[in-house]
Amino acid sequence: MSNVRKRYRVRRSGPLHGSVQVPGDKSIGHRSLIFGALGRGVSHITGLSEGLDNASTRQAFGSMGIGIQSAGGRTAVHGLGLRGLRMPGDLIDCGNSGTTMRLLAGLLCGQRFGTRMIGDESLTRRPMGRVIKPLRARGAQIAGTAGTKPGELYPPISIAPLLEGERLQGIEYAMPIASAQVKSALLLSGLYAAGPTAIEEPVLSRDHTERMMLALGVPVQTAGASVILDPNLEWSGGWEPFDWHVPGDPSSAAFPLLAAVMVPGSQVSVRDVCVNPTRTGLLDWLRLLGANLSRRPSGHGAGDEPIAEITTAHGAIRGSLAGGELLVRMIDEVPAVCALAAVCKGHTEIRDAAELRVKESDRIAAMAQVLGAFGVPCEELHDGLIIKGGAALHGARIESRGDHLIAMAAVLLGLLAEGESLIEGAEAVDTSFPGFVALMRSLGAEIVEETL
């Protein structure tokens, strides 16, 4: 995360109008860089986010001998094949990006060189046992660090090289919690395994890795929440360079779209948004609330990801339950959903979201505090929140806790509150949404960004 401290001053806003484009999806960006680095030749990527999280993945591959250049919105990745990575000369710093660390853990445990991955203070508090333990079960020499919770493993992560003649083993793994990061780590390690990698999730998490592998000819089979990668099936053992476009991040798009739903008289469109079915939980939930929402398809992106323009407008909405499979498909949008719940009629109940307690912050506790500061009645649950809509909001002073989604969710509430709101720690937003303030101001929002 940046060492520069920032804060936002937010005032109650008039109607928001306009058509905008948000940064490229981080999840797809990470994976596009990974598959580009492992390809045989120079791949080109457009739409890659300039946020700090994707930059962490880019820098990690640069330290392992992958040439990466960007110009005019187009990034060239000079892939060296599955066995072309070189031992980094120093620690791999993943910054604030848990995706970088977890996906690289799977990739690097199959290499002939050792590595050690570190992160910033926030990442160092995030649990890594969920990815380390199944990788160990397939023969990886990988270790985490003891931390605050007994029996849990945290960064830094150390990975010893496989010796000449050693290979990772096949694995059948039933995941206790749906997690695209753990699933992807196992699939990436499976590229270097002697036998099949078979994974079963409780419900299907985002499937960007599987889509990309299928597009590149990797022997992957999917059926519902199950996926099998069998490297012993006939395939070339690699893939040729590609030219991919990273569509807009639906988690980032949630903020201008929900702002339009919340602020009277508003209508906003967001172009070029990824509408992969594993990422459209928020859109499906908005329909349940009776929100004014439309979607217009506009092509496909990296790994055949569907893309659309999404438009929302202000209107009366009613609270509803968000949980189960739907919650999995909108997990990153929950802080924004909490802000939206403040204007819903009746109660909004968020359940099955215990995973949010181990993100960049404890997002359940953080949003309970944010809502309370603005005057929104809520009850914190072990796996979610119950939020009562309809309260008159007043300005508040909020600390982001180093979490970009908490900072942006507080902005949504500030747009409706009487008086000025201050959001401290706003530099966290640069990890995922550089240009957030400029985009919101272009729609008519009353936000000022200050560098401290």
53, 332, 403, 430: the catalytic one is 332
**Cα distance between residue 440 and residue 446, in whole Å:** 8
Q: Classify 429 in phi/psi space as left (phi over 0), alpha (psi -120 to 50) or beta.
A: alpha
Give catalytic status of residue 332 as yes or no.
yes
At 286, which amino acid appears? L
- The two structure tokens encoding residue 86: 């070189």
Rounded to whole angstroms, how far apart are CA atoms 356 and 303? 27
114 CB-near residues (< 8 Å, 6+ apart):
87, 158, 159, 160, 161
3 state SS for the chain: CCCCCEEEEEECCCCCEEEEECCECHHHHHHHHHHHHHCEEEEEEECCCCCHHHHHHHHHHHCCCCEEEEECCEEEEEEECCCCCCCCCCCEECCCCHHHHHHHHHHHCCCCCCEEEECCHHHHCCCCHHHHHHHHHCCCCEEEEECCCCCCEEEEEEECCCCCCCCECCEEEECCCCCHHHHHHHHHHHCCECCCEEEECCCCCCCHHHHHHHHCCCCEEEECCEEEECCCCCCCCCCCCCEEECCECHHHHHHHHHHHHHCCCCEEEEEEEECCHHHCHHHHHHHHHCCEEEEEEEEECHHHCEEEEEEEECCCCECCEECHHHHHCCHHHHHHHHHHHCCCECEEEECCCHHHHHCCCCHHHHHHHHHHHHCCCEEEECCEEEEECCCCCECCEEECCCCHHHHHHHHHHHCCCECCEEEECHHHHHHCCCCHHHHHHHHCCEEEEEEC
Active site amino acids: 332
